[in-house]
Every structure is written in C-alpha cells, then in structure tokens.
Chains A and B, each alone.
Chain A
Amino acid sequence: MRSWKLAKMSMVFAPRLAESAPTSHVGASWSPYDNNGGTCVAIAGADYCVIAADTRMSTGFSILTRDYSKIHHITEKCVLASSGFQADVRSLQKNLDARHQIYQHQHSKQMSCPAMAQLLSNTLYYKRFFPYYSFNVLGGLDNEGKGCVYTYDAVGSYERSGYSSQGSGQTLIMPVLDNQLKSASPLVLPPRESSTPLTESEAVDLIKDTFASAAERDIYTGDGVEIVIINKEGIRRETMALKRD
C-alpha cells in the first residue's frame, strides 16, 4: 500500500554535508515545489462514479483564487482529480492528454479507465526522482460499466478501491467515508465489496456534507466544491458553495 509520502513544502535537493559542530540552519532556501492546497474525493457505485474537488487555490496563508478546477476530463469515461502543486498537476494533465491522443490514433478507440490508471501510475513513477507533487484520484466507469476509483501517491503507487480522498482535507474526510461506506469493523460484519451500495444521489449528498465539514476545520479547503458524476448517460457536473473564510 502507499507508504511513500512526500515531505510537505520543504522538498530541497541539497547534498548532505559531513557532520560538523551543530549549527542552526536558519534561512529559507529555494524549493521547486509549492503546495496549493485543496481536497479531492471520489466514490464509486454499482453503475456510477462521483468525483469531487474543492475550488480553492491557495499559497501559504493567502488565497490565489476561489474558482479553480482541480478536475480534468481525460477520456469520455474517466476523470482525474488532483490536489497538491497545481503547476505539476497541469503538466501531468497535459502529459496524459498527449499520451491519450497517441493511443487513440494507434488503437482507434478511447482508453478504458483501468488502462488510464496504469498509464498514470507509469507516468508518475517515470519521475520517481523529481516527482510530480500531485495527489491524484482517478474515477470513472470500467469496461463493464461499474464505477471504479483509483487512488495514487505522488510517485505512482495505486490501488483500486470503492472510495478515496486526497489532499489537505484527506485526514478529515477519509474516516467519515470509512464509517459510512465500509463497515466499521470487519470482525462483526463481512467487509463489503469494492463498489459501495449507495445510490447516486446519496453519494452526492454524502460528498457535499463531508466537504462542508472539511471546510469547517481545514483552512485550505473552502470556497466551493465541484462535483462530477459519471454514469452510463454521460458526464454531469454540479457545484456547491462552501465557506469562504
């Protein structure tokens, strides 16, 4: 499972100096990364997938914009939501788009969601030693039309699951999703299978509530939430306002 977690913000590529008398290393040095904050969540159902991300982009204690989309439609049935450093996210999105175009020319069809999942993992690992500072959640419908959610760490380790959250509000939202979508303890009830038994509207309702709660306690989450719902009819988009403080 994912255990690789990038150090936040202060990812400095400096060589280790030989040990000498302890000195205080005061003073900021340049870092190629910045954290623009934000939270992404996805929930997969029997025949739908809901992907949501807040629309706040921030740096340090300031807000850059209240209306930034972290969600990217890569294929007809597959949507990528990413939080972290948005410059790297943008670069990653363009990379995947280009690779998808090539695939379409070579195979005369769109990439399926599991295929895109593997491609994303490979793309991320390709930059293992200068990673994309991007915490991704990929959601869509698989080849049989069932909802699927793939969750990643910054260097490409991934897993298919029934739901996931990433970003600054991850630690606030994940326990609530675990509680509502999976039985609290596998000792009592058998664990449910990877697609969750909520209906589409119940899943959207749960997502709105979890974002509202995360916005209360996480300073980087707020302003608005963009919710994308993929089902056999196509892709639908909803927005909801969140606290702006």
Chain B
Amino acid sequence: MEIVHVYTKLHSEFGRQCLFSDRPAELLVDVPADQSLASQFTQRTRRDQSLQASRDMSEHRVNTKRFESESCGLNHEEGGWPKDVNHQVMEQTIRFRKKVEKDESYINSILQLGSVMEHCIRQNNAVDIYQDCFEDGEMPEEHQEPPSAKTINVFRDPNELKRTVTGLSWHPDGGEKLAAAYSCLEFQKTSRDMSLDSYIWDIENPNRPELSLKPASPLVCLEYNPKDCHSLVGGSYNGQIAYWDSRRGSQPVETSSVEHSHRDPVYKIIWLQSKTGTDTFSASTDGQVLWWDVRKLSEPTERLVLDPSREGNPERALGAISLDFESTMPTKFMVGTEQGLVVSCNRKAKTPTEKVVCTYDGHQGPVYALQRNPFFPKNFLTVGDWTARIWSEDIKESSIMWTKYQMSYLMDACWSPVRPSVFFTVKMDGVLDMWDILFKQNDPTLSLKVCDEALYSLRLQDNGRLVACGSQQGEATLLEISSGLSTLQKNEKSLLAAMFERETKREKILEARQREIRLKERSRSEQSRSEDGGREDIDQSPLQLMARAEEDFYVLTETEKKGKEREDQDLSSEKEVQILEQSNE
C-alpha cells in the first residue's frame, strides 16, 4: 500500500526562499489490528537462546581407510622398437642399430654429448663435488631443549584376540628389526582361539609382521643372539625353550624336551658369551636356572636351584622372574625373584652351596626387572613393587638410591646404553618414565603416557634413541627420544661415578652405625640379663604377659580419660568466664 502525498507549486514560485513553519503531526494512515488473523498463529513457549557474534563452526572427524602398501621393484622389458623390427630376432635388431649408427644426426649428437659427458666425468674424478666442505666437528652449544619423545610407529597384534607383549628384543645389527613375544600371562585367561604366534617386525612396516614365529606354546620371552643376527631363542609359557633361525622360517629349529625343561613359564632367557656363541641360560618361577646349548636342546647343560639356604632344595626354591648377565663379568650373574630378593650367583662355583654368593633384600613384590648399568657394572637397577632402586654390589642391606613410591606398579626398566645416568621404566597405567639421576632424583625427567592399558615390557635400541614398549593389548609402540636424553653429556661419567660413590659411602656409614647400635643393645641386654636372671624366667609365662598388657592398657585409658575430663573442665570454665564477661558488657 503506497502512501502518497501530493503537493502543487506554481512555476513562478520556484527559486523563492523557503519559509518553514511548524505544524502538528497529521495522521496519514492507520491500519488497525485484524484479530481474525491471530487464530492462524499460536504463541510459542518462551525459550532462552544465546547469541554470539562469531562464525558458526562445527566439528567433524574423518578417518581415512587404511590401505596396505608394499614396496616392489619394476622390471622393464624391451620395447619401443618400430613395427617392422621384431626385437627377438637378433638380425633385425642389429640391422636397425647399424642403420642408426650410420645416421649423421646420430654422429653429431654423440660427439657433442660425448664432450659434455667427458667434462663431467673428469670433474667427478678431480674433486668430490658432494663432499662436506665444512666439517662440523665442534657442534654449536645446543640450546637445552626440554626432553621429549615422539611416537614413530605402533605395531599392533594382527590377531583378533589381543595378547600382551611380554618380551622385546632388538635385532643386534643396527636394530632394523624388533622381535616381540606375545603371550597371555593372566592365569587361565588364554582361550583356545588365541594365536600362539610371536612376530618379528620390520620397524619401517607396521602393517604386517616380517616373520611370524610359531612355537608350541606362547612365548613369554624372546632374545636375538647378539653374535648371530639370524638366530633367536625363546622361552615359552609351558617352560620349554625353542631355538629359531630366521632364515629357516617360522617353525623352531629345535625345542627342548618337556621333561627336562622348566615346569613354569620361562620368564627370562639370555644369551651367554662363549666361544661357540650358542650358550644361553633361562630362569623361571619354578626356582631353577638352567643352562642350555642351543645345538642340543634335549637337555640342559647345567642346573641351579635357587635355594637361599644353599641346599639345592627345590621345595624351598625362590621363583625367578628376571635375570641379568653382563658380558664383562662372565662368571657372575644375578637373578631377581618373585619373593623380592635379588640373588647374586657365581657360575664357576664347584659346589651348589658356593653358587649362591649373596642375596639382596630388594622389594616387597616380585623383582620384575634387573639390569646392571652398562657403564658402571658394580651398580645395578631393580624394579618391583612401586619403586625402582639402584644398588651397589657391596652394600647388601639396602639400595643406595631409590625413587619414591609411584602411583602404579612398575613392570619393567632398563638403562640407556649411551647415557650412564638415564634409565627408563614402564608402569601399569601405561606411562613410560625417563629418569635422569644427574638432573633430577625425585621425579622422572620425562613422563609420557604411551597408551591407556598397562605397559609390560621395554627395550632400548643400542643407539639409545629408539625405545620400544609393549602393552597389554598387544601394541608395541616405538618412540624416538630427543637428542638431549640420548647423547652423552660432558663429564657425565665422572659425575655419576662420584654420585654412586657418595651414595655407597652413605649407606656404608649407615650400615656401620646400625651395627654399632645393635651391638650396644645386645651387650646391654646381656648385662641386664645376667643381673636379674630370676625375674626374667617368671615373666616369660604368657598369662602373666597378657595380664601385664591388660594392666598397661587400662592404665593408659584411665590417664587419657582423666586428661580429657580436665580439658573439658578447663574449656567449660573458660566459656563461663566468657559468658560472664559478655553479660557484664
């Protein structure tokens, strides 16, 4: 509806000065409300709506389908021959070639190309044009970047039913391959459908394992032979030892006989230094440590029963969970037991009593990992219950250094092969901790949550940069550590040696003090015993002891009650005083 106002003006009045005057408002149009239209609408319930002066965004996640890729080479076949030449027939090809060689343009181009080529060849021979001109010997002081680690690859158990990665071992030659042992350690959780295989992974290809090893029973631990990069030995859940040659395929070359093997899962197996390079020894919770020669796995070459009372009694033997062997000390080895003791043994001892040299009272639970420091073999690291402890061989009563109690159980640990003061631990909440004891002793230098489930095993590659950890759901994660934690710092060895010495000395002093105190106590009690011998005898009867205990108890409670009553009285008297004061005001 258009509202129009028409006005007229005489032509003679154009250009005349405008004279404005006020006028009251005039109603031009009035459109009344039409109530009949209201029936077509309903009132909407009141609602709060927030407004924001920004662009509307929404989140959307996309996961591309995983596709499998494989590297392969390309083989070329002869081709490009003109139609009339059959390249199988030698004559025709020779004739064609001869024809081309007679061509003038051919001769010209070859001469020209030849001279260019000769120039470059001579250049190559004269100077290495790709050499490093500026030797970077003295690397500029690296900024102290915060230590970090990033995940490079994750190797997942290809089977439906996931098993725990209980053992990891790096390929000895350069560490391009990782062998992982898969088994289910939970009691009676293995189902018939669970695969028994363990795999060797190529670290570049996480899609498919390079080789699968098929033992008779799932493998709990697996080790590459450090001397021979093709042979592996594995300890399985039923106690047998199996020997593989990776060139021969998935089936074990030999398996030990069931009668002579362990009677419990083999938790750790290590290759020994020997002339033949075929000796290994294994430990299991049945209390035995067995030595094997892999050429003849039908029977162990030697047997040791871990009896702390040194009688070789298998009934009282301690179950072994971890082993350590340092090639610089070939006659000694150490065993970590389920009961929390660490036993140091001598292999060359003649009698079984001599075999067990000494024990260290380690942890309140099984000692899950045990390793000597590769730079300071006198000190070793153990992990069990909720702490990690560093020990010195000479001090048997307690560890020289230990971490505070962690939030979850520690499952495995190992030293860094390049930095003597760095070690790594994995915990049941899926966290990988890196400790640098020269930098910080109370807390880990770096703590990474690798996955949501528990981490069971850990292994560092020999160059110290790559670390593999295995989880309960069969995932083996490969991480790369920042260079700060994997390159040897200046003075590190001497600083660490000083630290270890200092701690060892402290423990020694404490030990000596304890001994003194104990001696004093003993001599004092002996003295008092000789003075009043008669009274001591009567007191020994249990009834008398109980009566005395009761008496003490009642006396204590009475004194406490009296004390409390007195307190209450004091309080109430105070209150009265306060009330009086208030009423006075």
Question: Is the A/B pair a real complex?
Answer: no
Chain A residues within 8 Å of B, Cβ to Cβ: none
Chain B residues within 8 Å of A, Cβ to Cβ: none
